Amino acid sequence: MQEQLKHILESSQRIVFFGGAGVSTESGVPDFRSENGLYQARQAFGKSPEEMVSYSFFRDHRETFFQYYKTFMVHPEALPNDAHRSLAKLEEDGRLFAVVTQNIDGLHQAAGSKNVLELHGSVHRNNCVSCGTFHDLDYILDPDHCKNEEGATGWTPRCLKCGGVVKPDVVLYEEALDQHVLNEAVSAIAGADTLIVGGTSLVVYPAAGLVRYYRGKHLILINRSETSCDDRADMIIREPIGQVLGGCVL
């Protein structure tokens, strides 16, 4: 099967990759929707991850939101793995047109990918909700920039310019996806001759619905568990995605 996949990749002219949390787990970034992620959240906070990364929770419980967010969703020590590096190599070789990702960790860009469509935003972009000033990840992780509602040292990052709350540019539950990014993802997938879906079970909508726009020749699924598109796939591989793509590309 590895040789068959390698042949498909070498003969394709316009590959698009659509990935989720499983792409980054090999870099040590946990999937917060996994059983372990749910357990950690409930043990530490008594709530589900979905509740704590909702917009209403961000609005009403900012200190707890940022404590959870910084502890469980931000991993500045993580490095790209063979999946990220393989996709960057395919793009460099002119065969991969776009990476469409549900991840917010920025590891595709760190590996060298240029055309990355981040459906759920990025931890590396953060903006003041009052004046719009941009702040990078290092800024919001620095305790010297974080104050609670009483003005004491806390978890909530405050704008260097106006003192307002700095919100990560990530799509929270109850928020809509960026329409421009979504449209670009639809266009990329619709125009692909090969679509690789990796590290996602395709259960989170609306992102998971993007696969329905694909009309190309090869639909390849690389995921450890079943997905909602298994019956459409030309090839299904249940091995770790970094191992699979690294063996074909690097």
Give the active site residue among 120, 124, 135, 218: 120
CB 221 within 8 A of CB 229: yes
Burial group, residue 46, by CB count within 10 angstroms (0-12, 13-18, 19+): exposed
120 annotated active-site: yes
> Cα dist. 123→55, 76, 152, 206, 231 in Å?
16, 9, 24, 20, 34
Q: Which two tokens stand for residue 128?
A: 């003041």
Question: What is the four-CA torsion angle of 33, 35, 38, 43, rounded to 10 degrees?
Answer: -160
- Say how far apart CA 135 and CA 158 lie, in whole Å: 10
What residues contact residue 186 under an 8 Å CB cut-off, 6+ apart?
A: 210, 213
Which residues have a catalytic role annotated? 120
